[in-house]
Structure 1
Amino acid sequence: MTNSKQSNGYQVGGSLGESASSHVLRQADSQLYEGLKTGKFCYLLNCRQMGKSSLRVHTMARLKKEGVACVAFEMRELCLHEVTEDEFYGGFVSYLVSEFNLDIELESWWYGQNLIHPGQRLTKFIEEILLEQITQSIIIFVDEIDSVLNLSFQDDFFAFIRSCYNKRADKLKYNRLTFALLGVATPADLIADSSHTPFNIESEAIELTGFQLDEATPLEKGFIGITSNPRAVLHEILLWTGGQPFLTQWVCQLVSSLSHIAEGVELVLRPQ
C-alpha cells in the first residue's frame, strides 16, 4: 500500500478512511452510489492517484449503513504470477466466505465439486451458498481490476460477471447481486474476447475528475487561522494542481504546515 502521511486533516497517499475530514465529495460519489443502489454494473477505470480507492471506501461505508452487504477485493492479491484457475477462483470464494462469515466447510465443499471447472464452482457457490445465506442486497467491489491482465483466463472471470446479470431475468435472487470494477485500464484493455465482456450489459461508467473549487470546501479547514482568506488559498492551489487529488492533498498539507507562506500563497502558486 502507498505510504501516507497526515497533517491538519490532509492525507498524502493511500485510501482516505470513511471518517477522513479531507475527503472531497465529487459527482462521481453520487453517481457510483446511485448506480449501485439501482443494481447497475458500475466501473471506474482511470489513472492512478485519482482517488478511486477512497471513493470506494466512502461508498461502501454509506451502503453498509443502509443494510447493504458489501465486500472489496484487491484483485492483485489473487492475480499472482502463474496462479492456476483453481487457486484464483478458490481464493475468490474463500474471501467471500471469510468476509461474509458464511456457514460452509469450504475445503470439503470446494474439492467435492472437482468434477466441474473452477469457474463453474464459483457460479454454483454464488447461487447455492452466497445468495441463499445472505438475503439482503450484495455489492462486490473489485479493485485493481487491471491485475487480471496477468491471467491467461481473464475473459472467463468477466464472463462470470456477465452471467450473473443475465440470470436476473430467470432467477430473481440475482437482482440482489451487483458488481463494481475499479482500476487503471480501459474496457478494451480488459477484454480480449468481446463476446465475454460485461461492459455491454446495463452499466454505469463512472467518470472521476479532479477536485473543483465548489466541491473542495473540506480542504479549506487546514488554512483557518493561518490566512485571512482560506478560499483564495485553496483556489490558487487548485489552479496549480489542476485538482489532481494526490497533488492537491500534498500541497494543502505543505501550505497548512508553513503558516508564514500561507498569506502569500496566491503569488507563490500562481502559474506563470
Structure 2
Amino acid sequence: MTQIKSSYQYQVGGSLNGDAPSYVTRKADLEFYKALKGGNFCYVLNSRQMGKSSLRVRTMQKLQAEGIVCVFIDLTGIGTQDATPEKWYAGIFYTLVSGCQLTSKIQWRTWWREHLELLTPIQRLSLFIEEILLVEIKQKIVIFVDEIDRVLSQKFSLDDFFGLIRYCHDQRDTYADYQRLTFALLGVATPSDLIQDKTQTPFNIGQAIQLQGF
C-alpha cells in the first residue's frame, strides 16, 4: 500500500504563515478584513493563544494584495526597560518611517531632533502623520499595533497615544486625507485597562472584532 505523506503541520503558539494549510478561517477573518478595508478603526482584544497574530498576518496580506499600505508595530520590540516617553515615541516614529519605506524621503533622526524643543513626542508623531506620512503615501494606510497591552508595563501614561488615534479619526470630517488612515490594535487587555482618560478613548468609535474558538 502506498503511503501518502501529508504536508499538514500542527503548530502551537506563534503566528502561522499566510499560506499555512492548518489555518482555520473564522468569522473574524472576514469582519476584520472588511472593516479595515472600509477604513474603520478596529481592535482585537482577547486572551493569548487565540490566533490574533495569525489573523493579523492573513489580513495584512489580503490588504496589501489590494494595494493598501500596511505597517506592523510590535510593542514588544520597543521594550519597557529604560524606556522614556521620548524613546518610546521615537520607536513608533522610526517603525512608521521604515515600514512605509520613507527612509529615502526623510532623515528621520534629524527630523525628530529638529522638532525637539518646540513639540512634545506625541505632537511630533502627529505632525509626522499629517505632513509626511499622508503626503508621501497616497494609498490607504492601515497601522497594526500588536501586543498593545505592553502599554500597561510602562512607567508613564500612554493615554496620549490612544488620544492620537482618536484625533486622526476625528480629523476625517475636516481633512479628507485622514480618511485613508486607520489603526488596528491587538492584544490581551480590555479597553478600560488600556486608557485612563475616557475623554481620549478611541474605543467608543471603533469596531471590536470577536475571536471565537476554533
Matches within 5 A, 1:38-117: 38-102=38-102, 103-114=105-116, 115-117=118-120
SS of structure 2 residue aligned to 1:11: coil
Shift of 1:79: 4.0
User: Do residues 122 (structure 1) and 142 (structure 2) align?
Assistant: no
Provide the C-alpha distance between the structure 2 equivalents of 1:74 and 1:87, rounded to a whole number of angstroms: 15
Provide the C-alpha distance between the structure 2 equivalents of 1:77 and 1:9, rounded to a whole number of angstroms: 28
Aligned residue in 1 for 2:213: 210
Greater relative contact order (CA < 8 Å, ≥ 6 in sequence): 2
Gaps of 5+ in 2: 1-6
CA offset digits 1:15-53 (Å, max 9, x no partner) = 001011111100000010011111111000000000000
Matches within 5 A, 1:230-249: none
Aligned residue in 2 for 1:240: none
Provide the C-alpha distance between the structure 2 equivalents of 1:165 and 1:23, rounded to a whole number of angstroms: 32
Aligned residue in 2 for 1:159: 163
Note the aligned Cα RMSD (angstroms): 1.1
Provide the C-alpha distance between the structure 2 equivalents of 1:161 and 1:81, rounded to a whole number of angstroms: 25
Q: Contact (CA 8 Å) 1:89, 1:118: kept in 2 or not? A: yes
Q: Which has the higher helix share?
A: 1
Shift of 1:136: 0.1
Shift of 1:10: 2.0
1:137 equivalent among 135, 140, 149: 140
Q: Contact (CA 8 Å) 1:81, 1:150: kept in 2 or not? A: no
Provide the C-alpha distance between the structure 1 equivalents of 2:195 and 2:109, rounded to a whole number of angstroms: 31
Structure 1 or 2, whichever has the larger Rg, is 1
Q: Contact (CA 8 Å) 2:46, 2:211: kept in 1 or not? A: yes
Q: Runs of 4 or more off by more than 3 Å in structure 1? A: none
Gaps of 5+ in 1: 1-6, 212-272
Counting aligned pairs with the same residue, the percent is 53
> What is the TM-score when the length of structure 1 is the normalising length?
0.73
Shift of 1:76: 2.1
Provide the C-alpha distance between the structure 2 equivalents of 1:130 and 1:42, rounded to a whole number of angstroms: 20
Aligned residue in 1 for 2:201: 197
CA offset digits 1:97-152 (Å, max 9, x no partner) = 11211110111111000111010000000011111111000000000000011231
User: Do residues 171 (structure 1) and 178 (structure 2) align?
Assistant: no
CA offset digits 1:163-210 (Å, max 9, x no partner) = 000111111100000100000000111111111110112x21000011
Aligned residue in 2 for 1:181: 185
